[in-house]
Every structure is written in structure tokens, then in C-alpha cells.
Chain A
């Protein structure tokens, strides 16, 4: 296992009101546990606001987590300070959702790509620029793109540049935070192909955060489904989506359209809104939207049941 995340927690508190203050705690990530093997693509799926992006950032310590442990290549990510943290960060990089805000508009692509090499003393001067050109070619852009500014590129091209930047330090793991959801569908496919290609060529592991089940199904080998800050089901992608055990996973799967005309017209009803993570329902967080909920679900949060290669947190799992 290259990445071991155990009971990772991130709560946001907000104090407002005067003179009597009210403090609300949003449990954005509430005890998330998963492992990623070297070279493996691990998916993290869930509705907006379920904490999947926060979990991804907290494990890289771009947001400081409140609790739990993160081990990367056997080293404790949370205890690392200074140079040790920089060295660990070098080995895990992030690709962002928004290709427009992820590149500094004032700097050329070459500067953006060569800067990490220079800062880490991997290359300098003409050598750094040559490596920047090689990175651009690796992501399918001409090396000449290095002399231009981000505004000269389209969303898909910018996302390629963002991927090239993430690759500059030769990481072992890439956290991809909704890397294609801001792109046109045709471009999505190209960028996904590129990521898949890089995974094979460089042996990269991925933590792939997405709300798009079709993309996760194609890209990832294992997946965890998050709901209100917690993982409710985890397992191999084919199994989780073919035979979901958690009612929430089934709901997500059924809501994701399948391009098959013979299965047309059976779009299921999605019941209810996602509740606020500041004030989650008692017991199982999903019980107000669940058709299998019983009294037990209203009172007690279900424990984690290991089931084959995966697991589920449900009192009444589907068989």
C-alpha cells in the first residue's frame, strides 16, 4: 500500500451571532479510511458536498486535518515537518477541477513547468526549460507551447498543462480532484485517455475524486462511496456498481444514465435532498432518504461490515 488513510477527520467550525454566539460544526470529513496500492486508481465518489474533495486535500495536508492518520510510502504524513514534508509532498501531486484558475495568468507555461524543477533543485536554466518541453510533449502538447501564457489555451489544453505540472516532480501518486468535470464531453475522453496512459507508463497511483460514476467505472479499479463525510461502501469498481450493497450506492448508480436504448425509461426516483453536514440526521445519515430504514437505522450508526474485497456500512445491506 502506498497510501494508507485511517480515520481521517476534518471539521470546520463557524462561530457567529452576537451577543450570544452559536457555533456550528460541519463534519466535512468524519473518519474516512481507505488504502491505495502503488499504481492503482482509487475512486472517491459522492454527491456535491459529501466531503470528497476535502478528504483529498486533507490527505495531502493542503487543508490541515483534525484527526486520523495518513501514511504515504510508510511515512507518517501528518507528523512530517519542514523538509520532510516537502520531500513527501514531492511524491504526491494534485490535478485540479478548474483549468482556468489552476494556472497563474501572469506566467508563461514554461515558467510554470520549470519552476518546481528549479525550486527542488532538479534542473536549472536551459535544462529546466528542456524538461518543461518534454513534459508538454508527454501530455500531448507541442514543446513550443512553453513560451505562451495560459490565456492562449483552451480548457482541455490547460488541463493537460495542469497535468504536466503535477508530473514535473515525478510523483508516485496523483490526487485528481474532478479532473474532467469542467471540460466538454469530447475533451473529457481525451484527458481521461491521457491519464490512463500516464498511469500505465509511469506506474502512477491515483486518488480520483469524481461525481461522475461512468468516469470512475472506466478509470478506477476500486472505489469508495462517500455520504456526508463518511465512506458508506467500498470495493472493486465492477462489484460495487454491478451489485451495490448500500442503498445509497444503488440510488447513485440508478441515477447515472446508461447509454443503452433497451434500458430506457426506467429512471428511478431520487428521494430527498442531501442533508446538511452541519446537522446530520441521527443514526445512519442516510435513513431519511432510504426505503429500507428501520427503527435501528434512526438510532444507531451502522458499523463497518467487511464483505469480500470490500465493505459496507449498513444495517440492512442489499444482497
Chain B
């Protein structure tokens, strides 16, 4: 962790993420207005001292909606990637360790999943199951399972040939013990680096799906949904799309910077 923060890029990224997380967590206290409260008189008012980021079509405060919307973005990104790491990581590790025909079949299935662009796959799932936050998490997790299976399998293939794994077998350790006690800790850093980078993709996918109306249903504020609302009034009210756009940009940028930093910090070639 300390090594991670010695990379300036990673520190800036971590700071960005932290600010957004803080905003999301503290939304009920720091949001100046109720994100759902409509105020038709003040509709489409530009940024001002009263409404820092302006108001939308229904006169709702954009800043308040951004802060509340961050919660959805973060919850969806974190839970979908956590699910993808658990499921995909387990699939990849077991496939790589068992090898042979199992490996072949499992990885072919993963390749099929991988061949769908993530947005299309998400679209299919949400269109089939209906727009709802649980389905959104499921859809994004599904698109990320295959990459995590790949990223977990590759190092297992080389680690299982290590003499210490063979030593474990001769010492009578079970396969479960070898896989989880001896192999897992050695692939964790690679998977976590991937996780932070994919978190950024998940934020984008969530925003994209919400933008085309397949995310969380209105009136719940989400960043993608807010961009779509703004898109309808893009010529009269730039602030509606620009602020959520910048928010997405900053979060994705922050996550990518943390991911790059993590990769450098855990790369044994750079540390030894």
C-alpha cells in the first residue's frame, strides 16, 4: 500500500476515487437538495450560486443528483466486479489447475463469452431480464467473468509446474489446499490489478446502459441516465450532460490510474 502511494499517478487516482466515494457516502448530508424534488419554476436554470451545477428538465438540482447517482455507479461497479472476480477467478483457477479436456471446454465457453462486446452482452441480458439494479449487476458481471477466468488461468498454468506445488503433492496435501493455500496468494495481485481496471469498464458499461434506458429506471438518479436526460436538451442546457460526463470521466480515470499504479507496485521485476 505504501509502495502504491509512492507512485504519484496512483496517488492522484486514489485521491479522485476517494473523493467520489466520499461524495457518494456523504450524499444525504452534503447534497444541497433532495435529488427527486421537482421545482418546475426553476427548471433548466444554468449553474448559479443557488444551484451550483444548474437544474434539469424538472427543476431537480444536478449536483444533488450527481452525488446520489454516484452511489448507484459505485455499488454496481464494485458488486459486479467482485462477483466477476469470484466466479471468473474460480473458473479460471480450476480450469488451469485441472487442465486437459476440462480446461479446453471451459476456456472455449469463456472465449464465446469473450467474443461478445461487453455492451452488447449487457444489453441482451438487461433486455431479457428487465432494467433493474440486480440485473444490471448480473449483466456486467457476466461480461467480466471471461476476462477474469483468463487472467486467473494463465499464472496457474505456470505455477502448477513449480516444484513447490509438486512438493505439496509429495507431502500429501489435498488439491484444494494446494490451489487455495499455495497458488491463490501468488495470483492475487494480478487479479486485483485487473479488477481495478475492469471497475472502470463497469462504470462505463453501467453509464452506457443507463444512457440507452436499460439501466436503473427513473427517477432514481444515475450518471448514465442523467446524461441521457441532458442529451434531449443538449443545445439549451449544456450543464445537464457535461457534469455527469465529467464525473464519469474522473471516476474512470481515477480507477485506471490506481490500476496502473497497482500493476507497477506489484510487478516483481520493478521491485527486486
Contacts and interface: CB of A to CB of B under 8 A. Distances in A.
Q: Do A and B come from one complex?
A: yes
Interface stretch (B47-55, B128-136, B158-166, B258-266): B158-166
Contact of A101 (B163, B171, B177): B163
A96 B166 contact: yes
A104 interface: yes
Interface residues on B, range: 10 to 19
Contacts of A57: 166
Interface in B137-165: 162-164
A96 B171 contact: no
Contacts of B272: 151
Nearest to A151: B272
A120 B171 CA distance: 9
Nearest to B185: A106
Interface in A150-173: 151, 162, 165-166, 168-169
B244 to A, nearest CB: 42
A105 interface: yes
Given A62-B166, A103-B164, A104-B164, A119 B182 contact: no
A100 B181 CA distance: 19
A62 B167 CA distance: 9
Contact of A102 (B164, B169, B181, B182): B164
A101 B173 contact: no
B186 A105 contact: yes
Nearest to A105: B186
A272 B261 CA distance: 53
B171 A169 contact: yes
Chain B CB within 10 Å, residue with most, of A97, A101, A104, A120? A104
Given A89-B172, A93-B171, A106-B186, A119 B166 contact: no
Chain B interface secondary structure, helix, strand, loop or mixed? helix
Given A116-B171, A120-B172, A169-B171, A98 B163 contact: yes
A104 B186 contact: yes
A90 B166 contact: no
Contacts of B186: 104-106
Nearest to B268: A105
A232 interface: no
Nearest to B272: A151
B177 A119 contact: yes
Given A106-B185, A106-B186, A90 B172 contact: yes
A57 B171 CA distance: 13
A235 to B, nearest CB: 29
A94 interface: yes
A60 B177 CA distance: 20
27 contacts: A60-B170, A62-B166, A62-B170, A89-B170, A92-B170, A93-B170, A93-B171, A94-B167, A96-B163, A96-B167, A101-B164, A102-B162, A102-B163, A102-B164, A102-B167, A103-B164, A105-B186, A106-B185, A116-B171, A116-B172, A119-B173, A119-B177, A151-B272, A162-B167, A165-B167, A165-B171, A169-B171
